[in-house]
Amino acid sequence: MMREDLDAGFDEPGVPVWAVFGDLMAGLLGAFVLILVCAIGMQLELASRLETEVKQRQAEAKRRQTLEQALAGPLAAGRVTLNNGRIGISGSVLFAFNSAELQPEGRQLLKSLAAPLSAYLKSRDEILMVSGFTDDRQMRDNARQFADNWELSAQRALTVTRALIESGIPSSSIFAAAFGSEQAVASNADADGRSKNRRVEMAPTPRPSNNASAKPRD
């Protein structure tokens, strides 16, 4: 009876080794495919970001080139500077010390800039930000016309903005900003550095979207 039981035990079917091996390989293959899909997805996302960045840089380079062409005359004469898309004019060209009244030379310069700037803004549907800057010296009490450098820089930016509007730039395509003695481009420790910091800059910027200014509905 015992031998018959043993023989019966050998006849019972077990789990084939190849089936276990197949399940293991299927699991490994699934994991590999998942990793491969993730890697391809990351690579495609990286390629898309790189392509977008390249297009943005190309667009920015083209924008600067177009702006340089529009201001070729004043740039060649050294009357304005162009750095990273920002048009700079020395404060001494536009205004007397501690004054916000345009000098004849400054008014003539702005008049010569109005037409090319207006054409540039129209072609790209952009607006012009006019920014006023001062050095860090405080107003003298005996000759104070403005409360502080913030007020002086604001008034100078407004004066330039109004002069450009009078020369043909649409009022809807320009606005003024004041920075006082902030964002200096040179040291205020010497006269030359302070002279560079007393300036007006103009920078074309994207026009705000109408959707951004629209009031939300109730």
Q: How many domains does the chain have?
A: 2
* Residue 11 counted as domain residue: no
Q: Choose between 165 and 15: higher pLDDT.
A: 165
Domain that holds residue 109: 71-207
Cα separations (Å) of 113 from 51, 75, 179? 35, 11, 22
* Model pTM above 0.95: no
Quick count: other Cβ atoms within 10 Å of Cβ 78? 7
Report residue 190: phi and psi, to 5°: -135, 165
Do 115 and 46 fall within a single domain? no
Each residue's pLDDT tens digit, 69-128? 878 888 888 888 998 889 999 888 999 888 899 999 999 999 999 999 999 999 888 999
Last residue of a domain, one of 63, 85, 119: 63
Beta-bridged to residue 202, according to DSSP, are 87, 130
Give the range with max mean pLDDT: 20-24, 48-52, 92-96: 92-96
Three-class SS state of 36: helix
